[in-house]
Chain A
Amino acid sequence: MDRKAAAAAARASRREAWERSFSPGALALVGAALSLSLLLMPSPAARAATLAAAAAAAWASGRKLSPILTVSVMAGIVGANLLVPLGRKLYVWGPIVITEIALREGLMKAITFEALVFISKACLGSRLRLPGGVGRLFASALRSYDRILAYKGKIRPASFIADIDEALIAVYAETGDTVGAEPASAGRKAGDPWLILPVLAAIAAALLVP
């Protein structure tokens, strides 16, 4: 097995363990609470700690992560914020001026941006079923999506439009009475009660850490 296949197998095994431990509904609620708490945290250190914990959780959930992309996005956000000088000069190198407030704001925004991404990755997935009419429509769309995916191998670049058209005709005919079908219920999982701990920690960090 090459390295890529081994990494994919390891991710799949982590994802299975994650899905066995936590129900999608509980994870989504925790994700919403953590995201809100993060936005209310005044301390950059608390936000950085949340970023680290969320990245670890996203890794444990079996999501594919790219440290290079994360670092380059954060560097881009900090760099863009430095373009407009704000506050005391910390460093001058030719045309590049690093100012204190611009740097602090840039870091805060970059950390928040990536922490929200990792919280979402850890807490959300296609297993989540939404309530109401939009939820039923979404569940139906996911079923059609699975059917279209089955045609993926038959779509060739040389005849892309004709192949997609064939697939759409075939799948559209199969999607009979799917919109009204009830979404599957995932039930509670053993790990759900433990999910209160990160929420309490995040609320404490938002309220108590200056």
Chain B
Amino acid sequence: MRSSADKRARLASFLAALAFFLSAVEYMLPRPVPFMRLGLANLPILLAVDLLPFGGFIILVVVKVLGMSLLTGSLFSYIALFSLAGTMASALVMRGLRLAAGRKLSYLGLCVAGAMASNLAQVALARVFVFGPSARYMLPAFLGLGLVSGTLLGLFAQLFARGSRWLAMVGEDAHGS
């Protein structure tokens, strides 16, 4: 019989695999605006807010960023640093909001807050490493794109969560263990 730690490790590695896959799917989708990403690969992080304990949740974030940086060959570049800062900020904000507001906050709300936190963290890093003081001119555009992509991904997550048999199954597994 599987221990609960084994089940959590299995679920965390599977959610990371799902993030790699959704990242590959997103790569094939056309972008309405250059640099705008829907952030499909963040869907497993969003779902993990309710599925994994805090330690497993942070490990998932690290494995997702590390894995995607290895697969795309960007681990030693600023891109990986931006990705880690953005994903970590978004993950911590979503987790904190779930803790504070409980189930009153929908996936849409969590996702919009996460996207804004991610873009803010990335603009802050861009100010230090790439754009200098000019980064402030990009802030409104980045926050606007974050609002749009966060809303779209949040709506997608709500649709997925409503109809997914897989999510119901792993949810029972995670909370039953």
Given contacts A121-B73, A144-B16, A169-B169, 8 further A-B pairs with CB under 8 A are A31-B75, A58-B73, A80-B132, A120-B74, A120-B77, A126-B70, A142-B20, A165-B165
Report the 7 A-B pairs with minimum CB-CB distance, sorted nearest first. A144-B17, A116-B77, A141-B16, A121-B73, A83-B134, A168-B166, A35-B76
A28 to B121, CA, bound (A): 27
B14 on the interface (CB 8 Å rule)? Answer: yes
Interface string of B12-24 (1 = CB under 8 A from A): 1110111011001
A134 and B59 contacting across the interface, CB-CB below 8 Å: yes
Closest to B60 in A: A137
B132 and A105 contacting across the interface, CB-CB below 8 Å: yes
CB distance from B92 to the nearest CB of A (A): 19
Residues of A bordering B, CB below 8 Å:
31-32, 34-35, 58, 63, 77, 80-81, 83-84, 105, 109, 113, 116-117, 119-126, 128, 130, 134, 137-138, 140-145, 147-149, 152, 155, 161-162, 164-165, 168-169, 171-172, 175, 178-180
B67 on the interface (CB 8 Å rule)? Answer: yes
Contacts A124-B76, A169-B169; A179 near B70 (Cβ below 8 A):
no
A116 to B81, CA, bound (A): 11
A147 to B76, CA, bound (A): 28
CB distance from B5 to the nearest CB of A (A): 10
